[in-house]
Copies of this chain bind each other. A is one copy, B any other.
């Protein structure tokens, strides 16, 4: 199933444009754009409901967490209070953490855990850390003053069985009506996908790492 936003419908309909034709091109362009605008406007008219949405970014490609942090700053731009809980990660302070900790009134930032699970090699400890992280997440989900919350890498904690997906979904569904939640990490469980409004699979086409380029500050961390 693929579904698109009005932005996407309008631009994807433009695939047939011949970039080299000039004769009457401006007029044809204008006529095409008039038709598109009608289509877009109609779709926009049909989508008028407001509600807090659950957004999931999953898949093996680059961009899941960075997209989540982009939404956090977008929300901050609209004056919303935000919250971040980072699951799994934790050993090395990232650029996003350094940046967002500058705004404690606007973004409550928690990093749980002590690094990747293959670094700690201690499942019992990892589970305890994940459960403590979820306590922070649940507290945010019970507090309508948070306009948008990001649970970074939560999917991995679910996939590894560190947290119960049904408990997580129940807490998500009990949140305030207008609160947005962004959940990142590869391997999102199907039950969580079913419970979400917007889900993107970030599919890798290629990655600098395969060319021997290591993770770059500002890009990957």
Residues on A close to B: CB < 8 A? 1-8, 10-12, 14-15, 17, 19, 25-26, 29-30, 33-34, 36-37, 40, 43-44, 46-53, 55-57, 59-78, 80, 94-100, 116-124, 147-148, 156, 159-161, 180, 182, 186-187, 193, 196-221
Given contacts A11-B186, A30-B121, A193-B205, list 4 more A-B pairs with CB under 8 A: A19-B161, A75-B217, A78-B217, A180-B219
A12 contacts which of B60, B63, B147 (Cβ < 8 Å)?
B60
A33: which B residues are within 8 A, CB to CB?
A: 117-118, 120-121
The answer to whether A74 and B14 have CB atoms under 8 Å apart is no
Measured in the bound complex, the distance between the Cα atoms of B67 and A72 in whole Å is: 11
The answer to whether A148 and B96 have CB atoms under 8 Å apart is no
Measured in the bound complex, the distance between the Cα atoms of B197 and A213 in whole Å is: 9
State the Cβ distance, A175 to closest chain B Cβ, in Å.
14
**How many identical chains are in the complex?**
2
The answer to whether B180 and A148 have CB atoms under 8 Å apart is no
The answer to whether A63 and B63 have CB atoms under 8 Å apart is yes
The answer to whether A61 and B200 have CB atoms under 8 Å apart is yes
Closest B residue, CB atoms, query A58: B205
The answer to whether B73 and A119 have CB atoms under 8 Å apart is no
State the Cβ distance, A151 to closest chain B Cβ, in Å.
15
13 CB contacts below 8 A, A to B, read: A5-B209, A5-B220, A10-B118, A11-B159, A40-B116, A51-B213, A53-B208, A66-B71, A69-B70, A74-B218, A78-B98, A180-B216, A180-B219
